[in-house]
A = this chain, B = another copy of it.
Amino acid sequence: MPKINSYVDISTIDKEAKRDFIDRHSPFVIVEDTPVKGQKLRVKVRVGQEYCHPDDFDHYIAWVQLWDGDTFLAQANFVPGVQGNQCSQAEVDFYIVPTKKKLKLQAMSYCTKHGLWQGPEVELEVQEAEAGVGA
């Protein structure tokens, strides 16, 4: 396996350059709504939280993947330039329909210069749909 770089809490890191390096490569999973069984849920994957990443031809985020535990859900592939060749945060919202009681969402991303990264796992309880409600 290629080396998997992992997100670490950057508030524990002194050097600004290192905080920037870690943050701008880490694919964060962001879920704003409450997951409900059988109902569509938006799951954002964004590479970087406080810092931005280049979108240069020889240095860009080539793809991100979304996983639920050991289950692969979806992948987005990019070409350089989609972010206007400016410093930005690669971002994509996937939509999934939960069917189990728990979600363990995690994203992977690949930078063409700095390799493979995993973001923090986000564990979420899935609510039962109320009677008469649902997708």
Contact A40–B88 (Cβ < 8 Å):
yes
**For residue A83, which residue of chain B has the nearest CB?**
B97
Cβ-neighbour of A72 out of B2, B71, B86, B106 (below 8 A): B2
Cβ-neighbour of A69 out of B2, B6, B99, B110 (below 8 A): B2
**For residue A39, which residue of chain B has the nearest CB?**
B84
* A135 close to chain B: CB less than 8 A: yes
Residues of B within 8 Å of A6, CB to CB, are 1
Contact A84–B97 (Cβ < 8 Å):
yes
Chain A residues in contact with chain B, CB under 8 A?
A: 1-4, 6, 38, 40, 42, 55-58, 62-63, 67, 69-86, 88-99, 106, 108, 110, 112, 115-116, 118, 135
Contact A83–B58 (Cβ < 8 Å):
no
Most B CB within 10 A of own CB, among A1, A55, A78: A1
Minimum distance in angstroms from A24 CB to a CB of chain B: 15
**For residue A6, which residue of chain B has the nearest CB?**
B1
Minimum distance in angstroms from A35 CB to a CB of chain B: 11
Contact A92–B91 (Cβ < 8 Å):
no
Contact A74–B78 (Cβ < 8 Å):
yes
Minimum distance in angstroms from A34 CB to a CB of chain B: 16
Given contacts A67-B2, A97-B82, contact A116 B72 (CB under 8 A): yes
